[in-house]
Amino acid sequence: MHQGDFEDSRKLLEQATSLLISARQSVIKFPEIQYAGFLHNAEKELIEALVLYRILKEKTIFIPDFKAFDRISFLHGLSEAMGELRRNILDRMRKNETGELEDMLNLMDDIYYFLNSFDYPDVLTRGLRRSVDVFRSVVEKTRADVTLILQQKSLEKKLQKNGL
């Protein structure tokens, strides 16, 4: 995805989704494996990629079928996808593609406030609070970077307009 190959990314995401669903079915009779965290980590990483794919390709948020995906894994994956979105924003800034930066920053804000609304004990959310706290710092760093680049672009336009 980071190289812009969305067709191969889509195929890999479909394959990974199929494998995760199969793995989940395989461990149903083995709760010591099912709840050991292996599937949660894999699922969280997959959801992170699915969220990023949807944002970059379709400008929407991936909402899984919760019969196939765990709700808490979704929240963690959604949070961690924002670090990858920051990477994409920084790549766009380096390429001088500033058109959608504020929209992406607003999306990050919306997702932060959504995730921050889950005020449940960590044992229920598998440590979501820590993930959301890290996400908050990602949003603030991104806000600073976007603000600087947009102010710089504004100054450049004013200088060009005045022939300087």
Spatial separation of the C-alpha atoms in residues 104 and 47, rounded to whole Å: 18
DSSP letter at 61 equals: -
The domains located in the chain, with CATH, are 6-161 (1.20.58.2140)
pLDDT class for 3, splitting at 50, 70, 90? confident
Burial of 74 by CB count in 10 Å (0-12 exposed, 13-18 middle, 19+ buried)? buried
DSSP letter at 164 equals: -
pTM of the model: 0.90
102 and 150 Cβ atoms separated by less than 8 Å: yes
Residue type, 153: K
Angle at 46 between CA 117 and CA 116, to 5 degrees: 10
Give the model confidence (pLDDT) of 90-126 as tens digits: 999 999 999 999 999 999 999 999 999 998 998 999 9
Give the model confidence (pLDDT) of 13-30 as tens digits: 999 999 999 999 999 899
Structure tokens, 5: 């190959």
Spatial separation of the C-alpha atoms in residues 121 and 116, rounded to whole Å: 13
Spatial separation of the C-alpha atoms in residues 89 and 44, rounded to whole Å: 22
